Amino acid sequence: MILSDNKISYLRILNLNLTKHKLKKYFKIFLYLAILGIVAIVSVNYYVKSSTKKNIYYSLKRFPKNDVGIIFGAGINGDQPSKYLKDRLDAGILLWKAKRINKILLSGDNGREEYDELTVMKNYCFNHGVDTTKIFIDYAGFDTYSTMYRAKHIFKIKKATLISQEYHLNRAIYIGNKLGIKSVGYSANKGEYLGYKYVCFREYGSVFKSFFDVLRNRQPRFLGREININGESNYSKEDKR
């Protein structure tokens, strides 16, 4: 059967209209899903921030004492801490010298020989007068959730002061409290930070992910044997318990 040119043109127009209709349908579905996703992310962030903001402190005045302070890794430049990390370390050292914390748990990325946050962090603390017997090392703190999970299950910490920049503290405190560590935060913000607006924006996604990490009780890739936070320090480079 041979179709006339008019019929062929009509079929082409019909197929084109059907394709456009399908594209509109898929676009609407995508748009609805995107809106739902944005609403979910904003709602979770609001919940996490509103439930933890009262636990963030900005000065030593009326700051509660805790046995352990946890400092999170935040990048290094060779053998020196990044601006983010330096301010976290300075804040932790300040709290230790002011006797607001008795011990420091350093947690960061030590996954590659050429990138060793923990050696930089512990050397910085040592060079600024912290007693090495009061420094404990978490060599597998690859993300905030892993740090807090290991603090609970490896170091058996029940209460802690979390030391980081303000943008990060809501998430860290939320994870800690949900995992069974009574947590307060001390803001290490000091001056300007490169890319601070970007990390604040990215934090929306990180908080959302952490919310579901808590819900499903995600286990970190690395655990290891227990380290007694009230026992001998594992400050030594060779002691990677």
Residue spans of the domains in the chain: they are 1-241
Q: What is the pLDDT of residues 149-201, one digit of tens each?
A: 999 999 999 999 999 999 999 999 999 999 999 999 999 999 999 999 999 99
Q: What does the pLDDT read at residue 27? A: 73
pTM of the predicted model as reported, rounded to 2 decimal places: 0.85
Separation of alpha carbons 238 and 110, rounded Å: 13
Which H, E and C letters describe the chain, residue by residue?
Answer: CCCCHHHHHHHHHHHHHHHHHHHHHHHHHHHHHHHHHHHHHHHHHHHHHHHHHHHEECCCCCCCCEEEEEEECCCEECCEECHHHHHHHHHHHHHHHCCCEEEEEEECECCECCECHHHHHHHHHHHCCCCHHHEEEECECCCHHHHHHHHHHCCCCCEEEEEECHHHHHHHHHHHHHHCCEEEEEECCCCCCCCHHHHHHHHHHHHHHHHHHHHCCCCCCCCCCCCCCCCCCCCCCCCCC
Cβ(74)–Cβ(83) below 8 Å: no
- Please tell me the class of the 1-241 domain: alpha beta
Q: Which residue has the tokens 């290991």?
A: 150
Separation of alpha carbons 224 and 213, rounded Å: 20
- Nearest-10 crossing angle of helices 166-179, 5-52: 80
Other C-beta atoms closer than 10 Å to the C-beta of 234 total: 18
Q: What is the pLDDT of residues 89-146, one digit of tens each?
A: 999 999 999 999 999 999 988 766 667 899 999 999 999 999 999 999 998 889 999 9
CA distances from 97 to 63, 92, 125, 187 (A): 14, 9, 11, 16
Q: What is the pLDDT of residues 211-228, one digit of tens each?
A: 999 999 999 988 888 898
Confidence band of 1 (pLDDT split at 50, 70, 90) = very low
Determine the average pLDDT of the residues in 32-56: 92
Indicate the average pLDDT of the chain. 88
Cβ(164)–Cβ(108) below 8 Å: no
